Amino acid sequence: MTVRLSEALRGLAADVPPARVPDGLFDAARTRHRRRRAAVAGALAVLVLLLGTGYALHPVALPMPAGPRHDAPGLPTRLVDPPLRTASVRDSAPGAAAMLFGGPVVRTGWFETRMGVVAADADRYRVLDAGSVVAGFEALLSPDGRYVWAGPSLLDLKTGRFTPGRVEGYPLAFAPNGERLVYADDETGFTPPNTYSTPYVGVYDRERGTDVLRVRVASAWIAPGRTAAVSPDGGELALQVRDEVWLTRVADAGADRVAEPYRKLPLAGGRLAGAGSWLPDGRSVAILSRSACTACPVPSYRRTWTMALRSAVDGKPLAGAAFPSLPSRSFVQLLGWRSADEAVALVGVPSAGAVDQPESHDIAWGPYHEPDTQAVELVVLRRGASTPEVLFRTPEGITDLSVAADLAIAGAVRESGRPDYGPLPFWALAVGFVLAVLVALPVLSLLKRRRGRRRTRAGRPPT
């Protein structure tokens, strides 16, 4: 029985037609396998390339000396040079800022006018390109850190949008409360052979959207940054015009908003101390003077700054213990006062081998950006102290700085955390796409050539 069943099964199997295997089945399977491996290899190559690019663009943290810690918003203890992939302020608003900064390490060959912004409540870094302006001189951060004033435009850092209305000139100073802005008319006149003149300086009220005061200048050029200060109540303007400080009241402005100075304080080679020059009582202003090395055969960087107070009532020097001097500093910018005996200022640290400019240079052009500055310090000047207290110093290469004066005066410092650079900007996404295409094209071309060679070896014409 078993033998007959086996023979029957063999007969049935012999009658079944043989299975036909399509031509090239095994070649096609091998080709699919190789394509999958090539696709995986290509994807890994693109991933490695993108990771390598991200690593190359990864920033290096630049440490700053630590200070007192606060949970509330404050100045960061660590400042980072934002990488190229950092989002812009317009694309991703950072909120109220602690610092607006620039310098050689922030600018690049592709972004020559680039500035960095770091938020006050977290390490949110953004970048801002406002044209050929310098942070702390032609681009100013408001005392509360909400606005950046660059040129005629006021940028709201909470929205990333410009505020309505335009100031008809370039920035000089914010008022302590940030509501009023001092600007110089940019219709500068030229008087041969080499003299420039500013028609007027205005005080713009942001809430009203109009000027509340204009002071005719005409005979001098007003340089951006540190040449004007508004009193704490917003009612008076101190303006440096050549070798004098003009004091003018907003209340004295007529129907045309123009007023004449009620007092002119001679500087004798000195200068107004900056936007924070008015003392808290609004009755006196701070004046800077400097001494230089007269015995040196060539100009050298031995500039020493000293600060004194002058009465706005009668113009006389005020008695009291001296504030500490600031030797070998390229500039001094007073931010404000903690009390009548404590002032907070930004000072420039000159680079090694920097050469001081003659006194005539500073009177004619300054205070202005000093090209030989390598870092900036935030200091406290206490009456009767021998040396200033340094709160922090920027890393070398960050030479332009504007800080939120409210935070600096309050001494609010927060611990820095992990930097947030925002979403990738459009140009970074475009670069990534181009890189992916550049990698994929050679891979696909290689696969096509290998497939052609295999078909040729198999005796079939390549497709």
Checking if the pLDDT of 325 tops 80, the result is: yes
Residue 200, strand partner residues: 216
Least confident of 6-15, 146-155, 215-224: 6-15
CB 323 within 8 A of CB 307: yes
Distances (CA, A) of 35 to 106, 132, 458: 45, 52, 18
Which of helix, strand or coil describes residue 11? helix
Give me the mean pLDDT over the 356-385 stretch: 69
Q: How confident is the model at residue 366 (pLDDT cuts 50, 70, 90)?
A: very low
**In terms of pLDDT, which residue wins out, 295 or 128?**
128
Residue 316 within any structural domain of the chain: yes
Give me the mean pLDDT over the 122-147 stretch: 91
Least confident of 87-96, 221-230, 325-334, 347-356: 347-356
Residue 252: CATH number of its domain: 2.130.10
Least confident of 202-206, 354-358, 431-435: 354-358
Strands 210-216 and 228-230 turn out to be: unpaired
Contacts of 406 (CB under 8 A, 6+ apart): 143, 144, 145
User: Six-digit token pair at 184?
Assistant: 């110089």
The Cα–Cα gap between 288 and 310 comes to 10
CB 237 within 8 A of CB 262: no
The helix (H) or strand (E) run that includes residue 37 is: helix 25-57
Instruction: Specify the pTM.
Output: 0.76
The parent domain of residue 107 ranges over: 59-414
**In terms of pLDDT, which residue wins out, 159 or 463?**
159
Q: What is the pLDDT of residues 254-308, one digit of tens each?
A: 999 999 999 999 988 788 999 999 999 999 999 999 876 555 544 555 678 999 9
The Cα–Cα gap between 436 and 433 comes to 5
The Cα–Cα gap between 287 and 285 comes to 7
**pLDDT the model gives residue 196:** 77
**pLDDT the model gives residue 56:** 44
User: Six-digit token pair at 260?
Assistant: 């004449």
Residue 181, strand partner residues: 174, 204
| Residues of the chain above pLDDT 90, percent | 45
The helix (H) or strand (E) run that includes residue 286 is: strand 284-291
Residue 35 within any structural domain of the chain: no
Q: What is the pLDDT of residues 54-75, one digit of tens each?
A: 444 444 444 444 444 445 899 9
Checking if the pLDDT of 453 tops 60, the result is: yes
The Cα–Cα gap between 329 and 350 comes to 6
Checking if the pLDDT of 424 tops 60, the result is: yes
Mean residue pLDDT of the chain comes to: 81
The helix (H) or strand (E) run that includes residue 200 is: strand 200-205
Residue 37 within any structural domain of the chain: no
| Residues of the chain above pLDDT 70, percent | 71
**pLDDT the model gives residue 431:** 67
CB 414 within 8 A of CB 436: no
Residue 18 within any structural domain of the chain: no
**pLDDT the model gives residue 369:** 53
Checking if the pLDDT of 232 tops 70, the result is: yes
Per-residue buried b or exposed e for 372-392, using 16+ beta carbons within 10 Å of the residue's own CB: bbbbbbbbbbbbeeeebeebb
Checking if the pLDDT of 26 tops 80, the result is: no
CB 179 within 8 A of CB 210: no
Numbers of helices and strands, H then E, in the chain: 5, 30
**pLDDT the model gives residue 439:** 72
Q: How confident is the model at residue 137 (pLDDT cuts 50, 70, 90)?
A: confident
**In terms of pLDDT, which residue wins out, 334 or 356?**
334
**Residue closest to 324 by CA, chosen among 383, 390, 392, 270:** 383
Strands 373-382 and 389-393 turn out to be: antiparallel
Distances (CA, A) of 181 to 59, 135, 146, 212, 401: 35, 16, 14, 10, 19
Q: What is the pLDDT of residues 152-176, one digit of tens each?
A: 889 999 999 998 877 888 999 999 9
Residue 456 within any structural domain of the chain: no
Give me the mean pLDDT over the 242-261 stretch: 94
The helix (H) or strand (E) run that includes residue 117 is: strand 114-119
Residue 9 within any structural domain of the chain: no
Q: How many CB atoms lie within 10 A of CB 57?
A: 13
State the total domains in the chain.
Answer: 1
Checking if the pLDDT of 104 tops 60, the result is: yes
Residue 34 within any structural domain of the chain: no
Residue 260 within any structural domain of the chain: yes
Checking if the pLDDT of 309 tops 90, the result is: yes
The Cα–Cα gap between 225 and 277 comes to 13
Output the DSSP codes for 301-370: S--EEEEEEEETTT-PBPPSPPPPPEES-S-EEEEEEEETTEEEEEEEEEPTT--PPPHHHHHHH-S---
Give the chain's largest Cα–Cα span: 136
What type of residue sits at position 174?
F
> What are the respective helix, strand and coil percentages of the chain, to the nearest 5?
20, 35, 45
**In terms of pLDDT, which residue wins out, 286 or 3?**
286
Which of helix, strand or coil describes residue 51? helix
Q: How confident is the model at residue 367 (pLDDT cuts 50, 70, 90)?
A: very low
